[in-house]
Amino acid sequence: NAGVTQTPKFQVLKTGQSMTLQCAQDMNHNSMYWYRQDPGMGLRLIYYSASEGTTDKGEVPNGYNVSRLNKREFSLRLESAAPSQTSVYFCASSEGLLTGELFFGEGSRLTVL
Amino acid sequence: QKEVEQDPGPLSVPEGAIVSLNCTYSNSAFQYFMWYRQYSRKGPELLMYTYSSGNKEDGRFTAQVDKSSKYISLFIRDSQPSDSATYLCAMSAKGGGNKLTFGTGTQLKVEL
């Protein structure tokens, strides 16, 4: 049972480089999310997609773009990486918007030098 | 001031102890309260979910919500080494969907 799969698990970038974090879920969930987790800051919502074809900004969207490619996949793109984007990124999915239960992937650790 | 405050710990207890983990919040619109458990280098997983005030019990875990004090708690009875993890509280407002506001997490270590 794969659940939520994120790739890559680790990445080192130089300032100004771009990259895309990939996320796929096999639970037929409608909603998907991208969070970042930083020490002392907790998990903060970057973007979410309530359903296929829709995306909305969360608490910290600046410097990121997302694409809901289909029901299974939700990618996060950093167009011009900055050291402030060094973080652990988590993708999550949920059946709907009212369940309170998010299923998280194992995280992608990104370092921007 | 953060909307949700949580003592980061670390909290170290002996096996078998009762553990109390707490969060305070400032947004009176929060109606849904959750506790997630996160093992090292893993994603969080939902442990408990409660709506509005009251208690909810699930095995060794009890979640308590006091909306009048804007205070939520998670109690772990008969703690085990396998309970060693970071515990995150999370909450959302009615109509807020699953846009959760998380606490920073409390690191718990249960020692043999």
Residues of A in contact with B103 (CB under 8 A): 42
CA distance A57 to B85: 30
DSSP-assigned states of every residue in B10-60: -EEEETT--EEEEEEE--TTEEEEEEEEE-TTS--EEEEEEESSEEEEETT
Q: Which residues of chain B have pLDDT under 70?
A: 96-97
**What number of C-beta contacts closer than 8 Å exist between A and B?**
61
Inter-chain touch A106–B43, beta carbons under 8 Å: yes
* Signed CA dihedral, A104, B89, A47, A29: sign only: positive
Inter-chain touch B44–A101, beta carbons under 8 Å: no
Q: Closest to B98 (Cβ–Cβ): which among A90, A102, A104?
A: A102
Q: Closest to A100 (Cβ–Cβ): which among B42, B49, B102?
A: B49
Inter-chain touch A42–B104, beta carbons under 8 Å: yes
Residues 38-77 of B with CB under 8 A from A: 41-46, 49
CA distance A69 to A52: 8
Maximum CA pair distance of chain B? 44
Inter-chain touch B49–A92, beta carbons under 8 Å: no
Which contiguous run of DSSP H or E holds residue A38?
strand A31-38
pLDDT in tens, chain A (113 residues): 679 999 999 999 999 999 999 999 999 999 999 999 998 888 999 999 988 989 999 999 999 999 998 999 999 999 999 999 999 999 999 987 666 789 999 999 999 99
Tell me the one-letter amino acid at A5.
Answer: T
HSE value, Cβ hemisphere, 13 Å, CA-based, for A109: 5
pLDDT of residue B7: 87
CA distance A17 to A113: 10
pLDDT of residue A98: 66
CA distance B54 to A72: 36
Nearest alpha carbon to residue B105 among B74, B79, B78, B80: B74
